[in-house]
């Protein structure tokens, strides 16, 4: 049994370096692709969140209890992007 194990180890030994090389580069490439995908998704999410017009609306109160006096349940969410009740602030220096 021990002779068979020794024979297998000596048979596989020349292949270990190429196998480890391929595995190391595969892990490196997968890590870089994962980071790239996460960065791309974060930028897409940030662009979408910057389209929310709530902070420039006159009905936005900037109060955590009641964010919007007209539609409080969709204030500062993605549903507010095309809000029909959006009115630009008439005096931007208030609040």
Residues 56 and 92 in one domain: yes
- For residue 81, what are the CA distances in angstroms to 5, 48, 58, 70, 77? 66, 9, 15, 15, 8
Residues 47 and 84 in one domain: no
Q: Is 3 among the domain residues?
A: no
- Mean pLDDT, residues 6-26: 91
Number of compact structural domains in the chain? 2
Residues 47 and 64 in one domain: no
d(CA 75, CA 64): 10
* For residue 10, pLDDT beyond 90: no
* For residue 89, pLDDT beyond 80: yes
Q: Is 26 among the domain residues?
A: yes
Residues 95 and 69 in one domain: yes
| pLDDT, tens only, 31-40 | 999 999 999 9
Residues 57 and 36 in one domain: no
pLDDT-derived band of residue 92, with 50, 70 and 90 as boundaries?
low
When the pLDDT of each residue in the chain is averaged and rounded to a whole number, the result is: 89
- Mean pLDDT, residues 79-92: 85
Q: Is 69 among the domain residues?
A: yes
Percent of the chain that is helix, strand, coil (3-state, to 5): 60, 5, 35
* For residue 95, pLDDT beyond 70: no
Residues 28 and 41 in one domain: yes
Domain limits at 66? Answer: 52-95
Range with lowest mean pLDDT among 10-14, 26-30, 44-48: 10-14
d(CA 86, CA 59): 8
Residues 79 and 91 in one domain: yes
């Amino acid at each position: 049994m021990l002779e068979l194990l020794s024979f297998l180890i000596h048979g596989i030994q020349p292949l270990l370096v190429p196998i480890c090389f391929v595995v190391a580069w595969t892990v490196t490439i997968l890590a870089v692709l994962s980071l790239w995908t996460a960065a791309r998704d974060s930028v897409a999410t940030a662009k979408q969140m910057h389209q929310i017009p709530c902070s420039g609306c006159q009905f936005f109160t900037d109060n955590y209890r009641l964010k919007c006096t007209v539609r409080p349940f969709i204030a500062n969410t993605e549903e507010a992007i095309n809000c029909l009740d959006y009115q630009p602030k008439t005096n931007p220096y208030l609040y």
